[in-house]
Structure 1
Amino acid sequence: MSNKIKAGIIGGAGYTGGETLRLLLNHPHVEIAFINSRSQSGQPVHSIHTDLLGETELEFTSDITDDVDVVFLCVGHGEAKEQLQQTKFATKVKIIDLSQDHRLAANATIDQRQFIYGLPEINRDYIREANAIANPGCFATAIQLATLPLAANGLLNDVHATGITGSSGAGQKLQQSSHFTWRANNIEAYKTLSHQHLGEITETLTTLQPSLASINFVPWRGDFTRGIYISAYTKTDKSLAELANLYKDYYVEHPFVTVSDKMINLKQVVGTNKCLLHLEKVGDNVVIHAAIDNLLKGASGQAVQNMNLMFGLDETMGLKLKATSF
């Protein structure tokens, strides 16, 4: 690509805005046109994202320009829809929305834009042709990657899943459950069987297996900063060897998903755009464990992966990141 992709970030002071910026600053085919923040306008980016001291002299701005190729909406749920109503971007400007505002089919059309659900492991060909992407949720990404191969082969029965997420999953705004004194040495279940990501999970899986019965999910808040680990199980008469081959075949052309023959852990994925999967068979239950970084494969990393696909780049461009194992 001779000309660099001009990218704008709206909502740049938060966790996903910061992660998106970190990735784009090091992307060989991108230049940052603006990083918007109403609360931090005029301040150096590194005053908020302090790890970027010495990396960039960019400043936050309250301005939003149409003279870009792609805009990342890194704002809160409900705010992305409002932003697109306030700022009428030209149809040539591609939109990647990291909020939940446009993930469900009922909310996928706004003005002349049709938002494509941005899970590359099922929608890669549609993403390549899209001009608007609804980036998946973090728990939704992990659970879907754990179950897509079964749904694609009509093998999902009732699904039961538990998952634990780090404090960064709650966003940057301080709340009781993100205080250090609350999180340290503590865990808690929340939104039992009612998590907001269940809708997008169900929509995706039923496109592959319309007969899907039910998805039951209990999320947990964990005593760590970043990462998601889920365990999902369903009944099947397939052997573990058959299931492992089925998963490996499904993901053979998807560079960020790896099926491990050994048990997986969070440190293998934190700081990367990877999803690791591991299968176990106990009686007639298959258990699928999945681990991702909630801010990367679960948010900003997947958004950049989608950008790469939309602009005809290798989807791994700028995303060959290093985990920290100790």
Structure 2
Amino acid sequence: MIDAGIVGGGGYTAGELIRLLLHHPEINLDFVYSRSQGGKPVSSIHQDLVGEADFAFADAVNTDVDVIFLCMGHGNSRPFLEENPLPEEVKIVDLSRDFRLKEDDTHGNNRQFIYGLPELNYDSISKTDQVANPGCFATGIQLALLPMADNKKLLEDVNIHAITGSTGAGQKPRSTTHFSWREGNVSIYKAFTHQHLDEIKQSVGQLQGVYNQDINFIPMRGNFTRGIFVSAYTKTDLTEHEAVELYKEYYSDAQFTHVSPEPLHLKQVVNTNKCILHVEKHGDNLLVTSIIDNLLKGASGQAVHNMNLMLGLPEDTGLQLKSSYF
């Protein structure tokens, strides 16, 4: 068995990660560390794990494990690693944005993080000991754009509208996450300035090279709990058939990303590690829709996928999940 630990165990992302690792056939979950919840039963915080997580949050980190997941808030992973240097043989999957960008991807003795989008960096992830897990919006949007970038076909501005569930804002209550505000409500936030734009531009540049056009991103808050629905469009001279074939080819070997001939709806992916895409042409505009579960494919499921690649396990180990369709 492979010993794993989680640092930062109290939030939604950690709760899903605990669930996945408890049921992973190759993993022994050695500890779940939480500074704020140390000593409390895990199932008292993650109440969906009653009967499954019969242990308490650890009040210390055990470095004698094979892999550690960092599930702390953004900006906390780098200080944690500086204050708690881990043995070089311990693999790290960081779910914050601390190491996602090239200018920030090293720490300590030049230990470099690889950007953990398997559909982009499969080979590099398989050879590394440190992965920076992508953001949730960034995952859904990049998967909508990568085939075009890989074929040097992003030649015009890209316009994106994407709506996310309330769990994307984290577990800590805020004025825009509580029930009476969110129910029956939709709103825009961080228009054109969302922090995931830097990741998206970095990945587009990695495949296409120079891309000087704008990526216009309008993020929206939805009145549901889980999932992200992305609508992205750009002008292209590709026919619809050519575009669909381009997407099918790019994702032909992808374990979790699929191209559907039918229009999408969010329940197809909730509670799964899938991304499903749909491609259609309207006049000069190519419209690509993309759906993911923000807590799984956009966070904890992708983290386990990355771990599987790093450890040489079959990609779908522990991730054979059915959508909450009904």
**TM-score, structure 2 length as denominator?**
0.98
- Percent identity, aligned pairs only? 55
How far did residue 101 of structure 1 move? 0.5
Match of residue 30, structure 1, among 27, 30, 33: 27
The residue number in structure 2 matching 1:183 is 182
Match of residue 145, structure 1, among 139, 143, 146: 143
How far did residue 199 of structure 1 move? 0.3
Cα separation, 1, equivalents of 2:178 and 2:54:
31
The residue number in structure 2 matching 1:170 is 169
Match of residue 154, structure 1, among 152, 155, 161: 152
Cα separation, 1, equivalents of 2:15 and 2:7:
11
Q: Which runs of 5+ in 2 are unaligned?
A: none
Cα separation, 1, equivalents of 2:59 and 2:144:
40
Q: Indicate the SS of the match to 1:96.
A: strand
How far did residue 286 of structure 1 move? 0.1
The residue number in structure 1 matching 2:61 is 64
> Which structure 1 residue ranges, 4+ long, deviate > 4 Å from structure 2?
none
Q: Indicate the SS of the match to 1:242.
A: helix
How far did residue 201 of structure 1 move? 0.5
Q: Indicate the SS of the match to 1:35.
A: strand
Q: Which runs of 5+ in 1 are unaligned?
A: none
- The worse-fitting range, judged by mean Cα deviation, of 77-86 and 116-125 is 77-86
The residue number in structure 1 matching 2:199 is 200
For residues 268-313 of structure 1, what are the alpha-carbon distances to aligned partners after superposition, in whole Å with 9 as ceiling and x for unaligned? 0000000000011011110100000000000000000000000000
How far did residue 186 of structure 1 move? 0.2
Cα separation, 1, equivalents of 2:172 and 2:81:
23
Q: For 1:1-326, what aligned pairs fall within 5 Å after superposition?
A: 4-112=1-109, 113-156=111-154, 157-212=156-211, 213-326=213-326
How far did residue 68 of structure 1 move? 0.6
Q: Indicate the SS of the match to 1:176.
A: coil
How far did residue 103 of structure 1 move? 0.2
How far did residue 253 of structure 1 move? 0.3
Q: Indicate the SS of the match to 2:30.
A: strand
Q: Indicate the SS of the match to 2:176.
A: helix
How far did residue 70 of structure 1 move? 0.5
Cα separation, 2, equivalents of 1:65 and 1:85:
16
What's the Cα RMSD here? Answer: 0.6
How far did residue 82 of structure 1 move? 1.2
Q: Indicate the SS of the match to 2:289.
A: strand
Give the paired residue count. Answer: 323
